[in-house]
Amino acid sequence: MGAAEFKLEQSRGVIERYREFLPVSDSTPIISLGEGNTPLVYSAKLSARVGRGCDVFVKNEGVNPTGSFKDRGMTVAVSKAIERDARTLICASTGNTSASAA
């Protein structure tokens, strides 16, 4: 994958990238801030600690728009709410879910 292809893939967001696996249709309006496609980062220390020739990678979800993995699910929730003509979105949260919903 070249740099231009990678940039395009990054900008697609979760719904466009995983559409075939999600409860969305062609008429679902896509509400996205470009969430997802977060980097896998190699961890030499964890790899050494696990041993057995394993390479350990960690997913850096902190680079999502609100700094949380919750952005991935919230893009689908908000898109489906808009599709159903919802005028209000309510969620119970003390932090990350509310930030993603906002």
Q: Per-residue pLDDT tens for 17-49?
A: 999 999 999 999 999 999 999 999 999 999 999
Name the token pair of 4: 């231009």
Total-model pTM: 0.77
- Give the DSSP per-residue string, 35-65: ---PPEEE-HHHHHHH-TT---EEE-GGGST
Q: What are residue 41's phi and psi, to 5 degrees?
A: -115, 125
Q: What is the pLDDT of residues 86-101, one digit of tens each?
A: 999 999 998 999 999 9
Query: Rounded distance, CA 22 to CA 11, Å?
Result: 18
Domain range list for the chain: 3-101
